[in-house]
Amino acid sequence: MSKEEKHPNVPTPHITAKYGDFAKTVLMPGDPLRAKFIAENFLENPVLVNNVRGVNGYTGTYKGKRVSVMASGMGQPSIGIYSYELYNFYGVENIIRIGSCGSFDKDLHVRDIIIAMGACTNGNYAMQYNLPGTFCPIADFSLVRRAAELCEQAGVKYKVGNIFSSDMFYDDMNSGMQWAKMGVLGVEMESAALYCNAARAGKKALCICTVSDSFIYPEENTTAEERQNSFTNMMKIALELA
């Protein structure tokens, strides 16, 4: 049986890579240019394996270990598509989201790190599973524990806890701080869908986010270029995880 016959869903409408082009672990920033930056600055012999819709995906090696990096785009529907296809069609076992987030926590400042143990959401991604209750999307504990250890070793300031995956960037209710009173550390837009897909596929996922702006300290913020190129602590921790 040919490889094409064994994997009839590959390529997909969103990924043109062949089966085997992706490593077992994929780092997944939201920004395609951040994926390009990681590939060009951290991977040895990176090869472009996907560029549909400008969503760059690369595979190379890091310290002798085969690793891939591909962008997810913005929002739960986007990461939902890419992570589903990687888990279910390309044989990927681990996806580590490396993104940016806004912080609700007084102890976290710009460039500190949130390790998302769980992901609250105002989205309805989990409704597709027809569960008789509310599903709580969580990360793989072994990845959470190792990420925390790596932050400790690197002297990087971090917190482990819940993150809020919002379906809205421009929230008319300005509801972010309502989540803060429940101890949620920050807000982004992707992790809940990633964690749902990992759970359903029996695979592993983790979200590591660098704080790019703060609801507590509004004077702290980063530019698009800084988010693309300067969140290197998070990138290195994710690569060591891989």
- Catalytic site positions: 213
Report, in angstroms and rounded to the nearest whole number, the Rg of the chain calculated over CA atoms: 17
Q: Which of 121, 110, 128, 102 is nearest to 200 (CA)?
A: 128
Q: Which of 76, 93, 204 is CA-nearest to residue 147? A: 204
Nearest residue to 147 via CA among 194, 198, 98, 80: 98
| Backbone CA torsion sign across 215, 78, 167, 239 | negative
